[in-house]
Amino acid sequence: MSDWGFLHEMNERGYSAQEIADAAASGAAPWEWEQIDKEWVDTQLDNASEERSLLANASAPFKSRDGFPISMRDQAEIFCELIDCGIRHFENSGRYLQIWGELGEIYAEIRFGLRRHGTHEAGSDGTINGKLVEVKTISPEKASDRVLVKSQGKFEQLLIVRIDQDFQFNGKLFDRSELKGGNGKFLRGQLKDETNNAQKLRSK
């Protein structure tokens, strides 16, 4: 069962969509908060303040992809189920389901407030806080944490999402100016786990 399973339990206990969104931002259920070191919580809340604000807005009707998803709570539950399905499939078949791009973008919706485009737009996948964003997902099958993106894309920020073999998720948002490559055909970005800006969610 994924660590996101507490979202299912919160729904069953009757928590509101706002409370579930806040829990998704913190990575812990309300009944677990007392067990987490206060100093660690204070640090994490400081770093995640902007993301929590975005998730608070996400509890309103979600204006993404022609009005979908309708419910962020349902989207978080679907995300959990997809992870669980991917884990079960791998354990049963020894093969990964090739749904990395979709998992990465749903993670971006929940964790970073990504609003995906209603129709395909070359060069970006959606917006975060009004800025055009390209999402690149690194699967467990890849050892490198580097990605390439076409420099002709109109994105303003690049979000790199890393999914490891334990279905742990890391994500980092880069401004376009931080990418390497200059005037070449491709720009290069790299996700480094030790950076302070990296956001991590764990799934068993």
Residue type, 50: E
Just give the CATH number of 5-201: 3.40.600
| The token pair that represents 46 in the structure block | 């400081």
Pairing state between β 169-175 and 199-201: antiparallel
Distance CA 100, CA 66 (A): 23
pLDDT tens for each residue of the chain, 204 residues long: 445 667 777 777 777 766 776 666 656 677 665 444 444 444 544 444 444 444 444 444 455 566 566 677 888 888 999 999 999 999 999 999 999 999 999 999 988 989 888 766 677 889 999 999 999 999 999 988 899 998 888 899 999 999 998 898 989 999 999 998 877 788 999 987 444 444 444 444
| pLDDT at residue number 74 | 83
Residue type, 17: A
**pLDDT at 7 (0 to 100):** 73
- Within 13 Å of residue 128, how many CA atoms lie on the same side as its CB? 29
- Residue 157's closest CA among 191, 194, 198, 127? 127
Burial of 147 (0-12, 13-18, 19+ CB in 10 A): buried
Domain ranges of the chain: 5-201
